Structure 1
Amino acid sequence: MSPFNEFKEMVQQLDAAYRHWTGTSLPTPDSLGEDERLAWLHAQAPYALLAHGTQADPLFYYANEQALASFKYPREQFIGMPSRFSASPLDREMRQTLLEQVTAKGIAHGYSGYRVDRMGQAFMIHHGSVWTLIDEQGAPCGQAALFWPDPERVGHLV
């Protein structure tokens, strides 16, 4: 099994839910086939993709390579971490307000704000989108986020 195969279903879930809320797939280069698209989203996207579950204190269960690089965590430490730790204590209230808007509306776009990396250093995220993940019956099963770590790269896929 290739390393990507263990993440393929998760990336498909994020992409399908994004398409449900926006009518379009997650942004990728046009020239890619479906499996290539999903692998690109996981390993090469210039934007972060991550997801957490529906626990009372939601835990991250997916992060693409850009998300791990942005937060400076190895996968085995990031996965299972409470998602609230992605923001400093000072920024958690704003983050929680955003997540509540997503719960109410399904999706929110254009978010920018501060997050903290593994060392506690603040970094800015740009042009973020957060959306509700849905299962095959249409029930909420988590939330996903896309953000650009570099404002100069927003919208540039290569």
Structure 2
Amino acid sequence: ANALQRPAVPSAANLWHRNHILLLDDSLRRLTGTALLPRPNAGPAECSSVATSDSLVLVSHGTGDDPIFNFATQAALDLWEMDWESFVSTHSRLSAEQPERHERQLFLEKVSKQGFVSDYTGIRISRTGKRFRITNALVWNVIEKDETLRGQAALFKISDVDYLVE
């Protein structure tokens, strides 16, 4: 199944995934009026500050029945305790534990219908089994200007994460 080409690590060589970050930003602006970047059509330097952020958790997955992550900020990689290659090879449903997956799926269907949902709260699990609660997350459909759906994205601050102690 790994024949699928996965995105490379964000770097100067790929302009920090500028095209993808611009798509995330443009979708967010059109759906919610809020922005990810300081200006539309931001340059690679501004995209670099998003990709390498250790305080902003931004993740996205593609389309399909069982979508795979295709982007994560450094804060997200740290939170899920994965490197880039592992993260962008992970089915996004696996970011939640089995009991949480049905609720997560229903929530994502709601986002699909509404375009976005703000103030999402949910429990996720890291690669090593650390459970954490996310609050105040904004989740939205990633859409091209022609309305082609490219996936979904989620954004929250690392300060809105609480680790759950068993």
Alignment TM-score > 0.5, same fold: yes
Greater Cα offset, 99-108 or 8-17 = 8-17
Q: How many matched pairs? A: 149
Q: What CA distance in whole angstroms lies between the structure 1 residues aligned with 2:119 and 2:23?
A: 21
Aligned pair partner of 2:108 in 89, 96, 99: 99
The structural deviation recorded for 1:147 is 1.9
Query: After the TM superposition, which segments of 4 or more aligned residues of structure 1 sit over 4 Å from their partners?
Result: none
Two-structure CA RMSD over aligned residues (Å): 2.1
Residue number in structure 1 paired with 2:144: 135
**TM-score of the pair, normalised by structure 1:** 0.85
Aligned pair partner of 2:28 in 4, 18, 37: 18
Q: Does 1:87 align with 2:91?
A: no
Q: What CA distance in whole angstroms lies between the structure 1 residues aligned with 2:101 and 2:30?
A: 27
What is the DSSP-based 3-state SS (H/G/I as helix, E as strand, rest coil) of the residue aligned with 1:92?
A: helix
The structural deviation recorded for 1:146 is 0.6
The answer to whether the 8 A contact 2:142-2:152 is kept is yes
**TM-score of the pair, normalised by structure 2:** 0.81
The structural deviation recorded for 1:106 is 0.3
Q: What CA distance in whole angstroms lies between the structure 1 residues aligned with 2:14 and 2:119?
A: 29
The answer to whether the 8 A contact 2:22-2:42 is kept is no
Residue number in structure 2 paired with 1:62: 71
Greater Cα offset, 97-106 or 133-142 = 133-142
Residue number in structure 2 paired with 1:156: none
Question: What aligned pairs does 1:39-54 form with structure 2 within 5 A after superposition?
Answer: 39-44=48-53, 46-54=55-63
Residue number in structure 1 paired with 2:121: 112
The answer to whether the 8 A contact 2:28-2:35 is kept is yes
The structural deviation recorded for 1:25 is 1.2
What is the DSSP-based 3-state SS (H/G/I as helix, E as strand, rest coil) of the residue aligned with 1:91?
A: helix
The answer to whether the 8 A contact 1:125-1:150 is kept is no
Residue number in structure 2 paired with 1:34: 42
The structural deviation recorded for 1:151 is 3.0
**Cα-to-partner distance string for 1:42-66 (whole Å, 9 max, x where unaligned):** 1125121111011110111111111
Q: What CA distance in whole angstroms lies between the structure 1 residues aligned with 2:64 and 2:55?
A: 29
- Structure 2, unpaired ranges of 5+: 1-10, 162-166
Q: What CA distance in whole angstroms lies between the structure 2 residues aligned with 1:2 and 1:41?
A: 13
- Structure 1, unpaired ranges of 5+: 153-158
